[in-house]
Chains A and B, each alone.
Chain A
Amino acid sequence: MNAHSPDPHVHERRKIFMYHVAAGGLLLLVLVIYRLSTENSVFPAFLHYALREPVDVFADWLPETFRFILKPISDAIKLSLKRLDGFFLGLPWPVVVGGVFLFTQHLGGLRLSLLSAGSLMFMGVIGLWDVSLITLTIMTLSVAITLVIGIPLGIWAAHSDRVEMILRPVLDAMQTMPAFVYLLPVMLLFGIGATSAVMATIIYAAPPVIRLTNLGIRQVSPEVVEAAKSYGSTSLQTLFKVQLPLARPSIMMGINQTVMMALGMVIIVALLGASGLGKEIWYAMRRLNIGLALEAGLAVVLMAIVLDRISYALTGREREGKARAYEGEPPGMLARMKKSVARIGAFAQGLSRAFAAGMAVLIGWIARPFAKKDVTGILRRVFTAHAFLLGSSALLLALLLVSRYLVDFSEFPAAWIFHFAKPVDAAATWMNINLAFITDPMRKSIYVYGLGPMRDFLIWLPWPVLMLGIAYLAWRVAGWRIALLSLFGFAFIGVTGMWIPTMVTLSQVLVALVLSVGIAVPIGILASRSDGFEALIRPILDVMQTLPAFVYFPVVIMLFRIGDLSGIIATVIYAMPPAIRLTNLGIRQVSAEVIEAARSYGSTPRQILFKVQLPLALPSIMMGINQTTMMALAMVVFAALIGAKGLGFEVLMSITRFDVGAGFEAGMSIVFLAVIADRITQGWAKRRQQALGVAASQ
Chain B
Amino acid sequence: MAAAEHKISCRHVWKIFGPHPSRVKDNLDPRLSRDEILERTGHLAAVKDVSFDVREGEIFVVMGLSGSGKSTLIRCLSRLVEPTDGHIIINGEDVVTMDDKQLLELRRHKMSMVFQHFGLFPHRRVIDNIAYGLEVQGVEKATRMKKAAEVLELVGLSGWERHYPRELSGGMQQRVGLARALAVDPEILLFDEPFSALDPLIRRDMQDELLKLQEMLQKTTIFITHDFLEALKMGDRIAIMKDGEFVQIGTPEEVVLHPIDDYVKDFTRDVPRHKLLTAGTIMKECQVVVSDTDDVSAVLSLMRERECATAFVNKEAGDFLGTVSMEDIAQASEQGSGQVRALVGSSPPVLSPHTMLDELIPITATSDRPLAVVDDANRLVGAVDRTTVMLALAGKG
- Establish whether residues A231 and B123, one from each chain, have CB atoms under 8 Å apart when the complex forms: no
Give chain A interface residues in 217-237, CB to chain B under 8 Å. Answer: 221, 223-224, 226-234, 237
Shortest CB distance B116–A (Å): 7
| Assembly CA distance A231 to B135 (angstroms) | 10
Jot down 29 A-B pairs with beta carbons below 8 A, ordered by A: A223-B115, A223-B116, A223-B119, A224-B120, A224-B121, A226-B75, A226-B80, A226-B115, A227-B113, A227-B119, A228-B136, A229-B80, A230-B80, A230-B112, A230-B113, A230-B190, A231-B107, A231-B112, A231-B113, A231-B133, A231-B184, A232-B105, A232-B106, A232-B108, A232-B137, A234-B104, A237-B136, A241-B132, A245-B123
Q: Does A51 touch B at the CB level, under 8 Å?
A: no
Q: Does A246 touch B at the CB level, under 8 Å?
A: yes
Q: Does A242 touch B at the CB level, under 8 Å?
A: yes
| Assembly CA distance A228 to B112 (angstroms) | 10
> Interface on B for A, CB 8 Å cutoff?
75, 78, 80, 104-109, 111-113, 115-123, 132-133, 135-137, 180, 184, 190
Given contacts A228-B132, A232-B107, 11 further A-B contacts (CB under 8 A): A221-B117, A224-B121, A226-B75, A227-B121, A228-B136, A229-B107, A231-B113, A231-B136, A232-B105, A233-B136, A246-B123
Shortest CB distance A694–B (Å): 29
Instruction: With a 10 A CB-CB cut-off, give which of B115, B121, B135, B180 has the most chain A CB atoms.
Output: B121
| Assembly CA distance A227 to B123 (angstroms) | 14
Chain A residues, Cβ within 8 Å of B115:
223, 226-227
CB closest chain-B residue, reference A224:
B119
**A-B pairs with beta carbons under 8 A, tally:** 63
> Interface on A for B, CB 8 Å cutoff?
221, 223-224, 226-234, 237, 241-242, 245-246
CB closest chain-A residue, reference B112:
A231
| Assembly CA distance A19 to B137 (angstroms) | 69
Chain A residues, Cβ within 8 Å of B116:
223
Binding site of A, secondary structure by majority: helix, strand, loop or mixed? Answer: helix
Chain A residues, Cβ within 8 Å of B109:
232
| Assembly CA distance A242 to B135 (angstroms) | 13
Instruction: With a 10 A CB-CB cut-off, give which of B80, B108, B113, B119 has the most chain A CB atoms.
Output: B119
| Assembly CA distance A226 to B108 (angstroms) | 13
| Assembly CA distance A233 to B121 (angstroms) | 13
| Assembly CA distance A229 to B113 (angstroms) | 10
Which residue of the partner chain, among B133, B180, B190, contacts A232 with CB atoms under 8 Å?
Answer: B133
| Assembly CA distance A221 to B180 (angstroms) | 18
Chain A residues, Cβ within 8 Å of B107:
229-232
CB closest chain-B residue, reference A225:
B119
Chain B residues, Cβ within 8 Å of A230:
78, 80, 107, 111-113, 190
Chain A residues, Cβ within 8 Å of B137:
232
Chain B residues, Cβ within 8 Å of A237:
136
Shortest CB distance B308–A (Å): 59
The 10 A-B pairs of least Cβ separation, nearest first, read A232-B108, A227-B119, A232-B107, A231-B133, A223-B119, A230-B113, A233-B136, A245-B123, A232-B104, A237-B136
Chain A residues, Cβ within 8 Å of B136:
228, 231-234, 237, 241
Shortest CB distance A240–B (Å): 11
Chain A residues, Cβ within 8 Å of B75:
226
Shortest CB distance B152–A (Å): 17
Shortest CB distance B135–A (Å): 8
Which residue of the partner chain, among A226, A234, A245, A246, contacts B119 with CB atoms under 8 Å?
Answer: A226
